[in-house]
Chains A and B, each alone.
Chain A
Amino acid sequence: MADAGTLPTARSRAMVREARHLLLTVAPGATWIVIFLVLPSAYLMGVAFMSTGPYGLPEMPLSLESFRRLAGFGFLGWSPGNLYTLLRSLVQTLVATALVVVIAYPIAYYIATSRARWRPIMLLAVVVPSWTNQVIRTFGWMNLLAPGTPLSQLAEGLGLIAPNMGLYPSNFAVTLGLVYNFLPFMVLPLYAAFEKLDTAQVEAARDLYASPLRAFRHAVFPQTLPGLLAGIVLVAIPAFGMYVIPELLGGGKGMMLGNLVANQFAGAANWPLGASGAILMLIATFIGLYAMRRIGRRLGGGEEVVI
Chain B
Amino acid sequence: MSDAITTDTADKTAPTSVPQDTARRDASSIALQGLHKRFGRDTVALAGVDLDIRPGEFFTLLGPSGCGKTTLLRILAGLEEADKGQLAIGGRDITEVPPHQRSVNTVFQSYALFPHLSVRDNLAFGLKMRGLPVGERNARVAKIAAFIQLGDLIDRRVDQLSGGQRQRIALARALVCEPDVLLLDEPLSALDAGLRSQLQVELLRVQKRLGMTFVFVTHDQQEAMVMSDRIAVLNGGLIQQVGPPREVYEHPVNAFVARFMGHDNLFPVIARNGETLTTPLGELHVANPGDGALLLIRPETLDLLPGDVEGVNHLPARVIERLYRGSHAEYRLAIAGTTLQATLNNRGRHLPEVDERVTVAVAADDLVTLAE
Interface residues of A (CB under 8 A from B): 198, 200-201, 203-211, 214-215, 218-219, 222-223, 300-303
Query: Which B residues form the contact surface with A (CB < 8 A)?
Result: 77-79, 98-101, 104-106, 108-110, 112-118, 121, 125-126, 128-130, 157, 173-174, 177
Contact of A223 with B125 in the complex, beta carbons under 8 Å:
no
In Å, the complex CA distance between A99 and B110 comes to 36
Contact, CB under 8 Å: A204 / B108:
yes
Could you list 5 further interchain pairs (A-B, Cβ under 8 angstroms) beyond the known A203-B106, A209-B100, A222-B117? Answer: A200-B110, A201-B114, A208-B177, A209-B177, A222-B116
Chain A residue nearest to B108 in the complex (CB)? A200
Compute how far the CA of A210 lies from the CA of B118 in the bound complex, rounded to whole angstroms.
18
- Given A207-B79, A207-B99, A302-B157, does the pair A200, B126 have CB atoms closer than 8 Å? no
List chain B residues, Cβ under 8 A from A211. 98, 100
Quick one: which of A204, A210, A223 has the most chain B CB within 10 A? A204
Report whether B129 and A200 are in contact in the complex, using a CB–CB cutoff of 8 Å.
Answer: no
CB distance from A113 to the nearest CB of B (A): 15
10 smallest beta-carbon distances between A and B, as pairs: A208-B126, A200-B112, A204-B112, A209-B129, A206-B99, A222-B116, A210-B129, A207-B106, A209-B100, A209-B130
- CB–CB A208/B79 < 8 A: no
Q: Cβ of A203 and Cβ of B108 under 8 Å apart? A: yes
Pick from B101, B104, B114: contact of A204, CB under 8 Å = B114
Q: For residue B121, which residues in chain A have a CB less than 8 angstroms away from its CB?
A: 301
Taking a contact as CB atoms under 8 Å apart, the answer to whether A218 and B129 are in contact is: yes
Distance in angstroms between the alpha carbons of A222 and B117 in the assembled complex: 9
Q: Would you give the shortest CB distance from B340 to chain A, in whole angstroms?
A: 45
- B129: contacting residue among A214, A223, A300, A303, CB under 8 A: A214
Residues of A within 8 A of B116 (CB): 222-223, 300-303
Contacts of A210 in B (CB 8 A): 100, 125, 129
Contact of A209 among B108, B112, B115, B126 (CB under 8 A): B126
Residues of chain A within 8 A of B104, CB atoms compared:
207
> A303: shortest Cβ distance to chain B, in Å?
6
Known: A198-B110, A302-B157. A203 touches B177 (CB 8 A): no
Q: Which residue of B lies closest to A223 (CB)?
A: B116
With the chains together, A301 CA to B130 CA distance in Å? 21
Whether the pair B157, A204 counts as a contact (CB closer than 8 A) is no
Q: Which residues of B are found within 8 Å of A300, using beta-carbon distances?
A: 116
Query: A83 to nearest B CB, angstroms?
Result: 41
Chain A residues whose CB sits within 8 angstroms of the CB of B100 once the complex forms: 206-211, 215
A166 to B173, CA, bound (A): 59
Q: Identify the closest chain B residue to A208 (Cβ).
A: B126
Residues of B within 8 A of A219 (CB): 114
Contact status B130-A203, CB under 8 Å: no
Interchain nearest-CB distance for B262 vs A (Å): 31
Task: Flag if B125 contacts A218 (CB, 8 Å).
Answer: yes
Which residues on B sit within 8 Å (CB–CB) of A206?
A: 78-79, 98-100
A210 and B127 alpha carbons, distance in the complex (Å):
10
